[in-house]
Structure 1
Amino acid sequence: MLIAQLSDPHVRPKGELYHGVVDSNAGLAAAVEHVLTLDRRPDLVLITGDLVDHGEPAEYDNVREVLLALPIPFLIIPGNHDDRENFRAAFADHDYLPHRGPLHYCVDDHPVRIIGLDSTVPGHHHGHVDQAGLDWLAATLSQDTTKPTLIMLHHPPFVSGIPYLDEYRYFEGAALAAVVERAPNVEIVVCGHVHRSMVRRWARTVLVTCPSTTTEIDLQLAASAEPSSHDGPRGYLLHLWDELEGMTSHARQIGDFAGPYPFA
Structure 2
Amino acid sequence: MPARRVCAFVFSSFTMATYGYNGMIIAQISDLHLRTDGHKLKGIVDSVGALDAVVRHLNALEPRPDVVLATGDLANKAHVQDYETLEAMLRTLSMAFYVIPGNHDDRAMMRDVFAKDGYFPPDGKFLHYTVEDWPVRMIALDTKADRRDGGEMCPERLAWLDARLGEQPDRPTVVFMHHPPFKTGIGFMDKQHFDGAEDFEALIRRHPQVERIVAGHLHRTISKRFGGTVASVCSSSAFQMALDLRPDVGSSFVKEPPTIPILLWRDDTGLVAHHSQLGDFGPRHPFVRDPL
TM-score by length of 2: 0.87
Does residue 119 of the first structure (1) align with residue 153 of the second (2)?
A: no
Structure 1: distance between partners of 2:193 and 2:53:
28
Of 114, 128, 132, which aligns to 1:108?
Answer: 132
Separation of aligned partners in 2, 1:37 and 1:78: 26
CA distance in 2, matches of 1:58, 1:22: 18
CA deviation vs aligned residue, 1:192-251 (integer Å, no higher than 9, x gap):
111111111100011111111110111111122111111122221100011121001111
Larger helix fraction of residues: 2
Matched positions, count: 264
Partner residue, 1:47: 70
In structure 2, C-alpha distance between the alignment counterparts of 1:167 and 1:64, rounded to whole Å: 32
Which segments of 5 or more consecutive residues in structure 2 lack a partner in the other structure? 1-23
Shift of 1:14: 4.3
Letter in 2 for 1:58: Q
Following TM superposition, the consecutive aligned residue runs of length 4 or more in structure 1 with deviations greater than 3 angstroms are none
Is residue 2:190 matched to residue 1:166? yes
Of structures 1 and 2, the larger Rg is shown by 2
1:191 alignment counterpart: 215
Structure 1 residue aligned with 2:169, among 128, 145, 168?
Answer: 145
Q: Report the equivalent of 1:78.
A: 101
Partners of 1:157 and 1:218 in 2: how far apart? 20
Q: Unpaired segments of 5 or more residues in structure 1?
A: none
Question: Which residues of 2 match residues 127-142 of structure 1 at below 5 A?
Answer: 127-142=151-166
Q: Is 1:58 aligned with 2:61?
A: no
Contact 1:156 1:192 in 2 (8 A): yes
Q: Once the 2 structures are TM-superposed, how far is the Cα of residue 169 of structure 1 from its aligned partner?
A: 4.2
Provide the rounded CA distance (Å) in 1 between the counterparts of 2:111 and 2:146.
13
Distance 2:270 2:279 in 1: 29
Quote the RMSD (CA, aligned, Å): 1.3
- Give 1:175's aligned amino acid: D
Matched, 1:32 2:48: no
Q: Is the contact made by 1:152 and 1:190 (CA closer than 8 Å) also made in structure 2?
A: yes
Matched, 1:206 2:230: yes
2:4 aligns to what? none
SS in structure 2 at match of 1:93:
helix
Q: One-letter code of the match for 1:104?
A: H
1:259 Cα deviation (Å)?
A: 4.5
SS of 2:149's partner is coil
| Equivalent position SS for 1:64 | helix
Deviation string for 1:165-196 (max 9, x for gaps)?
11214243111011111112111100011111
Task: Report the TM-score when normalising by structure 1.
Answer: 0.96
Identity, in percent, stands at: 38
Aligned counterpart in structure 2 of residue 21 of structure 1, from 44, 48, 67: 44
